[in-house]
A = this chain, B = another copy of it.
């Protein structure tokens, strides 16, 4: 009886795993080079942990249930609440705290391109830094994670500041900020006319200038200059622009300014983020967001700790895979084997196994044929598992205390002393 995996859940065969492992390893190597340290938290948590942050609506989008002990629990849809809890409950942590996790997550959503019900996320956070240096560090690590995968011009990070946007909206007489954010958030789903007409209902003056400000999207420094010229002179606006200029300058020091733009329309929902927000998209704008992040200075407090400023983001595996594949940078899905030891006769099995074990002990990937098949079948198998070299224990050579070593790429074959392998 065949029982299929649940919809939105994936299985990975070995060839696929080789490529996935390469991608994950490349990214995490960059993350670790930045001094982010790995943590891990449970896959199943009290539902309350997420209600606290996201309210009741979170329940609909999760795999949540009542366990056998009567507890309301959920498969985790994100790691940030658990990470915030870990920060808040351990008082001896040295700041700044730079943590990452690589976790499996679950969301009860309709599967589609770039979205599964079970997926992975690299989650990266810095706790304890008020300054924009933290934003620069996480944006830089994000850019370099993608660069390590061979991406360069294929993505763009759109940066904004919610305090700046809020102040600008207020300066233009917008009182219903929540509606304004929602409207800006779904701007790309509306026609220009619809957007203007909707916005007109909540703004009170200079609609044109306001819309021009919101539409700013481009390299950080020129865009910030442009913004300054449009919006009315204001202390808060100046401070926030100053802060973003400082970020632009830091991003230049990191050498990642080319992948970053200011985009005043980035809002990222309503709650949670306090000021800086950013989102990463494929440059062609064909896919869902690769990741989103920002500053959330109030969250640790919510989980019972003191107030600890924080900046972070989470990068999922699904959209990333789509983008890397489209860019032609997905690693080759192939098995690798250093040596295949071909035992031509059962009487050489003991020697064969000793050779195999000696090579494995020095870290080589080595196989021999557990089925002890014919030489031609073994050669075929060696080829299928991508063996680089085949060591052949044949009668003629073995009688002379030698083995034949065939290079599977060049096809060249030469004899070597048996004692070099079993010595």
A interface residue numbers (CB < 8 A to B): 1-6, 9-14, 17-18, 21, 29-30, 32-35, 37-46, 48-49, 52, 60, 63, 65-68, 71, 73, 75, 82, 85-86, 88-90, 94-96, 98-99, 104, 106, 108, 118, 126, 128-129, 131, 133-134, 137, 140, 144, 249-250, 253-255, 302-304, 335, 337, 349-350, 353-354, 357, 360-361, 363-367, 369-372, 381, 384-385
B3/A303 in contact, CB under 8 A? yes
Q: Which residues of B contact A337 (CB under 8 A)?
A: 35
With contact pairs A98-B367, A133-B372, A357-B254 given, residues A85 and B2 touching in the complex (Cβ less than 8 Å): yes
With contact pairs A3-B52, A118-B44 given, residues A129 and B371 touching in the complex (Cβ less than 8 Å): yes
Q: Which of B2, B34, B134, B371 is in CB contact (< 8 Å) with A95?
A: B371
Candidate in A11, A13, A35 with the most chain B CB atoms within 10 angstroms: A35
B40/A304 in contact, CB under 8 A? no
Q: Which residues of B contact A365 (CB under 8 A)?
A: 32-35
A128/B39 in contact, CB under 8 A? no
Q: A6-B71, A11-B41, A37-B335 are in contact. List 11 more A-B contacts (CB 8 A).
A: A1-B302, A1-B304, A2-B304, A3-B49, A12-B41, A18-B37, A21-B38, A63-B68, A249-B350, A254-B353, A254-B357
Candidate in A42, A63, A144, A364 with the most chain B CB atoms within 10 angstroms: A42
